[in-house]
């Protein structure tokens, strides 16, 4: 599953390329990602790609930045499921296929 959008010609950082590779390696399996939000707080999401439930088929707003990765966040028990995105350059940890990958925010 190729996840880059219409701005593929823009150069991605080395870290963003690694994150994209990890997300692609997950396929449609569930993975977790921890990242630092713009306000400085940390956020962890359990998510997956390839979900079309509730999709309206339009272009996502995050597509303008090739470092943004769109996912479907899995709802916690009684919680809401929703489409979200995260910036690959702000990722500090990913767990894919049972393997934890750590990154520096400055990478």
The average pLDDT across 22-49 equals 94
pLDDT of res. 77: 64
Contact of 103 with 91, CB cutoff 8 Å? yes
pLDDT of res. 62: 63
Which segments of 1-107 are extended strands (E)?
31-36, 42-48, 68-73, 82-87, 91-96, 99-102
pLDDT of res. 50: 81
pLDDT of res. 55: 62
pLDDT of res. 102: 96
The average pLDDT across 58-73 equals 76
């Amino acid at each position: 599953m190729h996840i880059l959008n219409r701005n593929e010609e823009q150069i991605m950082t080395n870290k963003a390329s690694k994150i994209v590779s990890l997300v692609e390696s997950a396929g449609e399996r569930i993975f977790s990602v921890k990242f630092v939000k713009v306000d400085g707080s940390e956020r962890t999401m359990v998510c997956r790609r390839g979900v079309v439930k509730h999709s309206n088929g339009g272009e996502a707003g995050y597509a303008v930045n090739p470092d943004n990765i769109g996912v479907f966040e899995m709802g916690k028990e009684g919680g809401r499921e929703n489409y979200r995105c995260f910036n690959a350059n702000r990722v500090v940890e990913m767990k894919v296929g049972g393997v934890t990958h750590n990154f520096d925010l400055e990478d």
